[in-house]
Amino acid sequence: MSRNQIRRTNQVGGAQLTSILVVAGIATSLVVAFALLQMNNIRVAGELKKLEVARNRLEELVRSARLQSERLRSPRQLSERSAQMSLGLISVSQLEIVEAPIRRPWNGADLAKEEAR
């Protein structure tokens, strides 16, 4: 083999080696990019799951608050609570709330007058 043939053989091999290295570099870059994207997807999925759990908790809290407010607004419940709390309400209806006359607080002088009778 002559020197020119050896040089051509080395040059062709060098070009092939360079192209193989370029392709391997591109493939490695793509694999690293894919791995980073997968890690990012896993992190974002975890955050999304946490947000969904928080949203479900809030929805449950809102649902229970609505249920409680509906129960507390019913005329029967208002009548019972006013009797328990002695607010002085006679009746509660959807249209009006009627107040009882104002009661004077009991004190010792009133008690003495009652006993004197």
Q: Let me know: does 30 contact 22? Beta carbons within 8 Å.
A: no
pLDDT at 37: 97
Q: Let me know: does 94 contact 75? Beta carbons within 8 Å.
A: yes
Instruction: Please give the full DSSP string across the chain, using - where no structure is assigned.
Output: --HHHHHHHHHHHHHHHHHHHHHHHHHHHHHHHHHHHHHHHHHHHHHHHHHHHHHHHHHHHHHHHHHHHHHHHSHHHHHHHHHHHT--EEEE-SS-EEEPPPPPPP-HHHHHHHHH-
Q: What is the pLDDT along the chain (117 residues), one digit of tens a residue?
A: 566 666 666 555 567 888 899 999 999 999 999 999 999 999 999 999 999 999 999 999 999 999 888 877 777 777 777 667 765 555 555 556 556 556 666 565 665 666 665
Tokens 């004190």, residue located: 107
